[in-house]
Amino acid sequence: MSTLFEKIIAREIPAKIEHEDEHCIVIHDIDPQAPTHFLVIPKKVIPRVAEATDADQATLGHLLLTAAAVAKKLNLEGGFRTVINNGEDGGETVPHMHVHVLGGRSLSWPPG
């Protein structure tokens, strides 16, 4: 069974795509929690960051570098936050690891 994100990658479900390359896709969140809120999703399914392996190291690094590049493209020079939810208590709702990038306003601490 495909995850929601696999269906978006396969163009079975529409999404506002900001960037795509051979390793990941970047889409705008459908329920944004900040003026700018996008997701960096690996094309390889990694269910959650706690299940990543040494073989995923390059992919994980690529996700963060892509997050920074897209944040710059979207004019988040003042700062942004990256979030990776892991497990039910961590707020995970889709079993396909992804990086949330939020910005466009001052973000408080602690989150949640």
What confidence score (pLDDT) does residue 1 get?
Answer: 81
Confidence of residue 112 (pLDDT cuts 50, 70, 90): low
What pLDDT, in 10s, does the model give residues 10-68? 999 999 999 999 999 999 999 999 999 999 999 999 999 999 999 999 999 999 999 99
What confidence score (pLDDT) does residue 59 get?
Answer: 97
4-103: CATH number: 3.30.428.10
- Residue 71 burial by CB count (10 A; 0-12/13-18/19+): exposed, middle or buried? buried
Q: Identify the active-site residue in 28, 62, 96, 98.
A: 98
Is the full-model pTM beyond 0.85? yes
CA distance 78 to 86: 27
28 is catalytic: no
pLDDT above 90 (res 111) = no
**Residues with Cβ within 8 Å of residue 44, at least 6 apart in sequence:** 23, 56, 59
CA distance 99 to 12: 21
DSSP label of 3: -
